[in-house]
Structure 1
C-alpha cells in the first residue's frame, strides 16, 4: 500500500499521514456497498431523507474546531474564511432538507386516462427518481463547500443517491476528518451501510469513474483533468452523466460613467474580488474591461497601488504556485499583455503577491484570455462598446460576467447585457461575482468550458443533476409512489395540465 503525505502550503513541509491510496479492490468493495445501499435508500420517504441531511449538518458543526484546524494547515486559507465555508456547507445540507420536504423538485405530473383531441389516451404519471451511486470529486480551493461535505454530496444525497467521494490530494486529512464527521452522524441516524464512501489517490479516482456501479460524476477542477475523466466515461460500456465545473475567466466591464463616478470604490471592490482567497476562486474576475481616458487611468493606478503594497498570499499547492508564473509569463510573451505589477515570491511555502497586466482591447486574442489561478488580473483598455464586443469574442465562455454602470447609461447597460448574455450563466450588476449565494435562484454554471452542463452546481436546482425521469402508464395504485397516487398529497403537482399546490 502507498502511504500518502500532506503538505502545509504555508511552509512547503510534507508530512506522512496514516492514509493509504485505495487500490482497485478497495474501490470495487466501496461501490458494491453503495449499490446495495441504493436499493434501500431509494425506498426511504422524503421525511427520512430530510432528517438525514439535517443530522449531517449538525455533525459537521459539532466537529467544527477539528475540521477548520486541519483545513488551515493543508490549504493556508484563513480561519475566518474556513469557518464561513463550513457554515455554508452546513447551510447547504439544511437547505436541501427543506427542498426535499417541499417536494417540488420531483416535478410530479399526472395525466388521467380519457378522451383527447387525438383519441383515447392512457393514464400516465411521471416524476423524477434517484439515479444510483454518485462519484463526487473534492476541489482543491474549497475544502468544505465543494469537497467531501460540499454541494455535490448534499445534492446527490438529497436526490436519494449514495455518494462515493474522491478525496483531493491537497487536503487529505481535512477530507478524512470531514468524512468521519459525516459517517458518524449518518451511522447515528441509521443509514444503510454503504450510503457514504471515500477513496484516496489519483488512480482510485480513475477506477471510481470507470466502475459500472457509478451512475453519475460531479467534478470541480481543471479543464485538463475534466477532459481526462470525460475520456474515461466515454470508454465505459454504459456512459454516464459528467457534471464538470472546469474553467472560467468571468469578465468584468466598467463603463465610462462608472469609472468616473466610482473610481476608488470599484478599485477596492475589483482588487478584493481578484485577490480574495489568494485569487483561487472559480468566480474570480480574471479580466476587467476599463475605459481609455483619465478616469480609466485613475482606476488602473488605484489597482496598481493596491497590488504593489500587498503582502504575500499563500497558494493552495505547489502545482498552482508553479503554474501561476508560467501562465503570467505566457500571457505576456504570447498574449501581448504588458506587466504593470510584477509578483514577488515568498521566502517559504507557496506564497506570492498579486500580479497586474494590461492590454489594449484591439490587441486581445485567445492567447491572453487564459485562466490564471491565483491573484492575477488582466486589465483590458477599451474605447467604445464595439471594442468590448470584439474582445469578448476571444474570451472563453464563463460562469459569470459583471457590469458596472451608472443610472444615465441605460442604453449602454442593455447593450452590454446583450453582449454577455450568451457567454455566461450569471450576470452581476454593480457588484462582484465572488461570494456565490446558496439559494433557490442561484445558477452556478455556464457554457463550455465553464461547465459541460445546463444545470447548476450551487443552489437547490443542483439536485436535478442526480435525478432521472420515470413514467408509470396505467399503473395499479399499489405500485405508484405516494407522490403520484390520487388524493391529497404534500407536494405541488400538475394534474391534467393544471398546477395543484401541496395539501398541508
Structure 2
C-alpha cells in the first residue's frame, strides 16, 4: 500500500498546512473504479440523477464558506474570484439537471417498419444514446471548482448517467476532498450509492486510472505534455477509450488598422485587463496579438503599457508555475528583435505582469517559434505587422486554439475574410471583446483543433454531455422490452418519429 502523504500547501507562502490524504496506489485506484462501476446502474433513473445534481449544488452551497476559504489558501485566487467560480459550478450542476429532465440529449429517433420504403423495405428501428460507462476526470489547477471535482466534466458525465472517478489536482487536495465529500453526501441523500463519485490522488493514480480496463472515457484539463501523455496511453490500451483533453491555447488576436485608428486606447486597455486577469492563469488568455505598425498601433501599445504597469502583482498557483512563468518570460525576452515594454518579475512570492513586442516578420523565423507557444501566467506577445501578408504568415504557423479574436470595424471590407481565416484555428471566434470568460450557455463551444483539445467536443455548455454517450439502435424489439423513451405513445422526451420532430 502506498502511504505517500498528500499535503495541502498555502499558495502564497509555499508552507504545508496539513496532510489531507495519501496517494492512491494501483490497488486503491482499482478499488475506486470497481466501486464506481458497481454504482453506475443506479444512475439509470433520470429523475433520480437529476435530483442528485441539484442536491450536489445545494450541498456545495451549504459548505461554501469552508470550500472557498480552503481553495483560497491552496490557490491564492482570492475569495471574490472563488465565490463566483463556486456559483458557476453549482449553476452547471443545476443546468445539467434540467437537461436530464428534458431528455433531448437522448437524441431519440423512431422509424416504424415500412415494407414499402425505398429503396428497400425498412425494419422497425429505434435509436437513442446510452452512457459510455465509468468516466475518469482530471481536475484542473486553475479552476478548483468549475473544472475540478464538481466541475463541468463531472456534472456532464453524471448527467449522462456515468459514474465518475476524479483524479485530484495536487494544487488543491483539501478543496478536492471537501468537494468530493459534498457530492457523495448528496448522492446518499437522494438514494444513490456514494460511489457514483470517487476521488483519488497522485501522479501514478492518473496513469492507473486511464489504463484501468473498466474506465470508458476520460476528461482532462491541463498542460500539453501531461495531456498528450495520457491521450497516448488512452489510445494505446487494448481497448482504446475516448480522451477529451484540453491541453493548451495561444488564443490569437488580430487588430485591424482601422480598429486601431478608431479605438487604440480602448483596445490597449482591454488587452491589459484580459491578459492579466487572474494573473494570466486562464486557458483563454490572449497570448499573441497582431497589431498594425505605425501611429495607431503605437497608441494601442501605450495604453497597453499603462494598463500592464498598473496591474497588481499576485501569487501564481504554485511555485512550479511561478518558476515556469519567470523562465518562460526571460527566454522570450532574450530573443533577437524582442523588446520588453513591461518586464515581468518577482515581487516576493508573487509576480508582476509583463509583455513583449516584436515585429511580426520575426515570427516567420524558426528561432522565434517559442513566441507562438503558450506561456502560462500574466504575459502576452504583441506582434507588429505591416500588411495582410505578414498577418497570414503568422496565422499560418499557428496550431489549434480555444479562441481567436478579431478587432475590426463592422463595415470593414476584409472583416468577413478575416473571420473566415480565423475559424479553422479555433472553437470560439470573437468579434471584438476579449476571450477571457467562458459563458455557461447552450451554444458555448469550449474546445478547438489540436493542441487546444484532443476531440471536437466542448467541456462547457449543455452539449458537453454528448462526450459521454454513444448511440444504440434497437431493431424489431418488442415494445415491452424497450426503454420507455423508445416505446410508442407519449414518452416525455423530444423525439423524431418517422421523420417528424415531436415534443
Cα distance, 1:333 vs structure 2: 4.0
Q: Which residue of structure 2 aligns with residue 231 of structure 1?
A: 232
CA distance in 2, matches of 1:435, 1:256: 26
CA distance in 1, matches of 2:90, 2:325: 32
CA distance in 2, matches of 1:80, 1:251: 28
Q: Which residue of structure 2 aligns with residue 353 of structure 1?
A: 352
Cα distance, 1:334 vs structure 2: 5.1
Cα distance, 1:300 vs structure 2: 0.5
Q: Which residue of structure 2 aligns with residue 116 of structure 1?
A: 117
Q: CA offsets, 1:63-105, max 9 Å, x none?
A: 1100000010000001110000000000001111111111111
Q: CA offsets, 1:172-215, max 9 Å, x none?
A: 11111111111112211111242110001111111111111110
CA distance in 2, matches of 1:372, 1:60: 33
The answer to whether the 8 Å contact 1:33/1:193 transfers is no
CA distance in 2, matches of 1:183, 1:121: 46
Cα distance, 1:12 vs structure 2: 1.9
CA distance in 2, matches of 1:402, 1:172: 35
The answer to whether the 8 Å contact 1:109/1:125 transfers is yes
Give the 3-state SS of the residue equivalent to 1:127 in structure 2: strand
Q: Say if 1:397 and 1:335 are closer, same or farther in 2 by CA, change over 3 A.
A: farther
CA distance in 2, matches of 1:429, 1:246: 24
Q: Which residue of structure 1 aligns with residue 392 of structure 2?
A: 389
Give the 3-state SS of the residue equivalent to 2:261 in structure 1: helix
Q: Which residue of structure 1 aligns with residue 42 of structure 2?
A: 40
Q: CA offsets, 1:146-192, max 9 Å, x none?
A: 00010000000000010000000000111111111111122111112
Q: Which residue of structure 2 aligns with residue 208 of structure 1?
A: 209
The answer to whether the 8 Å contact 1:335/1:364 transfers is no
The answer to whether the 8 Å contact 1:334/1:368 transfers is no
Q: CA offsets, 1:283-320, max 9 Å, x none?
A: 00001111111111011011112223433121101121
Give the 3-state SS of the residue equivalent to 1:215 in structure 2: strand
Cα distance, 1:421 vs structure 2: 0.9
Moved more, 309-318 or 145-154: 309-318
Give the 3-state SS of the residue equivalent to 2:411 in structure 1: helix
The answer to whether the 8 Å contact 2:273/2:307 transfers is no
Give the 3-state SS of the residue equivalent to 2:399 in structure 1: coil
Q: Which residue of structure 1 aligns with residue 418 of structure 2?
A: 416
Q: Which residue of structure 1 aligns with residue 488 of structure 2?
A: 486
CA distance in 1, matches of 2:72, 2:147: 16
Cα distance, 1:367 vs structure 2: 2.9
The answer to whether the 8 Å contact 1:336/1:368 transfers is no
Which residue of 367, 370, 373 maps to 1:370?
373
Which residue of 475, 478, 491 maps to 1:476?
478
Q: CA offsets, 1:254-285, max 9 Å, x none?
A: 12222122222212211111010100000000
Give the 3-state SS of the residue equivalent to 1:120 in structure 2: coil
Give the 3-state SS of the residue equivalent to 2:24 in structure 1: coil
Moved more, 95-104 or 227-236: 227-236
CA distance in 1, matches of 2:410, 2:113: 55
CA distance in 1, matches of 2:242, 2:436: 27
Cα distance, 1:6 vs structure 2: 2.1
For 1:96-495, list aligned pairs within 5 A: 96-114=96-114, 115-333=116-334, 337-347=338-348, 349=349, 351-365=350-364, 366-409=369-412, 411-495=413-497
Q: TM-score, normalised by structure 2?
A: 0.96
Q: Unaligned regions of 5+ residues in structure 2, if any?
A: none
Q: Say if 1:428 and 1:335 are closer, same or farther in 2 by CA, change over 3 A.
A: farther
CA distance in 2, matches of 1:153, 1:497: 34
CA distance in 1, matches of 2:447, 2:245: 9
The answer to whether the 8 Å contact 2:135/2:215 transfers is yes
Give the 3-state SS of the residue equivalent to 1:373 in structure 2: coil
Q: CA RMSD in A?
A: 1.3
Q: Say if 1:343 and 1:268 are closer, same or farther in 2 by CA, change over 3 A.
A: same
Cα distance, 1:26 vs structure 2: 1.1
CA distance in 2, matches of 1:53, 1:290: 45
Q: Say if 1:335 and 1:320 are closer, same or farther in 2 by CA, change over 3 A.
A: farther
Cα distance, 1:110 vs structure 2: 0.6
CA distance in 2, matches of 1:482, 1:384: 61
CA distance in 2, matches of 1:77, 1:59: 22
The answer to whether the 8 Å contact 2:160/2:465 transfers is yes
Q: Say if 1:439 and 1:335 are closer, same or farther in 2 by CA, change over 3 A.
A: farther
Q: TM-score, normalised by structure 1?
A: 0.96
Cα distance, 1:335 vs structure 2: 7.6
Cα distance, 1:11 vs structure 2: 1.3
Q: Which residue of structure 2 aligns with residue 75 of structure 1?
A: 75
The answer to whether the 8 Å contact 1:324/1:372 transfers is yes
Cα distance, 1:39 vs structure 2: 2.6
Cα distance, 1:372 vs structure 2: 0.5
